[in-house]
Structure 1
Amino acid sequence: MIKQLATHIGSEDRRRRLYLLSIASTDLDAFERAVLDELNDRIGAELGGRDGTDLCDARRDTAQRLAGDEPASERIAHAPRSYILANEPEELVRQARLAEPPPRSGTARVAVTGHELAQHWQVDVASRDQQGLLATITRVLTDARMDILSASVATWADGVVVDSFVVVSNARPAARELSAAIETGLRQSVPPVAVAGAIARFDNDALPWFTACTVEADDAPGVLAGITAAFALAGVEVHSARIATLRGAVVDRFSLTDTDGRKLDETAQERIRKALAGGSLRGRRGTR
């Protein structure tokens, strides 16, 4: 079905226009919006995979040219496809440079840049993959009274991770203070946080290598921190994240695996549901 839809739509420009029209002209509930977003992403990936001249290749090539002859260009060359499609070339270059040279284990390299909207900021964090990483970063941002509007995660084969967030804050976030707080948090256990009204749905068929997880909850400060803490306590790894808020509810989508890189079985899914409810998971420490 995805290939048929992509063939019918025919171009990236038309896909984007149809997506925006669907949002503007249809009163979607939270789950319907999540389905639309997933369909839009999958059609975009299909459109991008044709004839070797796809959007991903074009964006990667542009970013490598901007990076020049430096380690950042090599990192962009090996970046995950989903990450390339989710970011503009300038963002890819900025984040790849932040990740070079690779950070030491237990350290967090933070960069803050302005956004086109007032009081909005891009916060990029480069670090080594380790237990509780995403949960720690989101908790630090929440404790600093930032409202997280979007998040993306990219992981490389050498263990380097770049977590990128768009946040709302009255004042420009202080990169050094965030870095210090994240590094302190990485030395601590991830605390359980109940997420009020959270509903988690899992799909092992939507993605080839990952379990697709959609979490709906009432919009409130710290919701993303609570969700990522639940993943950490349940012992699963987050490979990508997409955050959305619709009419007072959050609809966050994640690509997950267990620590061995496998899709989540029913036992792992149930651990996540229990952790979202604030339940104790014996014998488990936070993971990514």
Structure 2
Amino acid sequence: MSKADALGGSSTFDAVAQPMSSRAASFAAFAGQSTAPDTSTPSEKVTRSPRLNVEELAPNPYNPRETLKAIEEMADSLTGRGVIQPLTVVTRQAFLKAHPGHEAQIGPAAYVVVDGNRRLAGAKLAGLDEVPVHLDDTLADDADTLLESALTAAVQHENLDPLDEAKALQRLVEVHGSQRAVARALGKSSPWVTQRLALLKLTPDLQTAVEDKSLPVEVARRVGQLPTQQQHAAAEEAMRERNKARSRKQAESKSANAVSTPSSSRNEPLRAEGRDVTELAASLRQRLTPEQLDDLVALLAPR
């Protein structure tokens, strides 16, 4: 006897047991959440995701990634076990209903990828014939819904480039109407969204520096919140401070190594890196402050 049969019917139990709406269920599935008890057998779980030929799939023309990077590495990872995470797709009809007049962009493909464009490119390069998919046309009810689905999935990928992430967030702001609404939709804080959007306010050369990784993204997000005329000076000052901090850390590490106890016997002449005690003392005077030298003497004094 089931628990429901044992307890008998009740309005509370029946209310909890009500199924999700189709739209809520589709977004839950898109987010990887379970919407119903899993009663499938182990063998059914292996084959539960439908598979489609890669030639039937078109990449999303509105993919937030401006360029698909590291496709070779992706292909190498897929060669052994294939695609593990299903691609999220919509039918050709659903896509064209949301974006009429885009037949040329998707070609003859029967399906359009909402999330998984990089996996699709990697699968083609790896020579895979089929990939698992999650098919859900409710993600393409209209242009805003389709865009929101693709951008939300892209932002949730940790390996999205910082500037691509910022552009995706900006388009989400256009869909939702405010940064606060985007933060709620993503489960993030408003400052998290603001900091990432700040990259779009950087001057073009500073954006290039972010792309080639010569300007750390943490610095760039702070600098991007300043007026344009102040950004270059602020970026240079921030990099000087980072370099000073790095130099101090390296100096402290060298000092710690210099005062470490020698492994040689106490009865042998003290030497370090081929130098005698006099040279070592001169080297320590240059590296250590007077206070550090006093501390060193105290540590070496016989007890």
Q: If the length of structure 1 is used for normalisation, what is the TM-score?
A: 0.25
Q: If the length of structure 2 is used for normalisation, what is the TM-score?
A: 0.24
Structure holding more strand per residue: 1
Highest RCO, 1 vs 2 (Cα 8 Å, sep ≥ 6): 1
- Which structure is larger by alpha-carbon Rg, 1 or 2? 2
Structure holding more helix per residue: 2
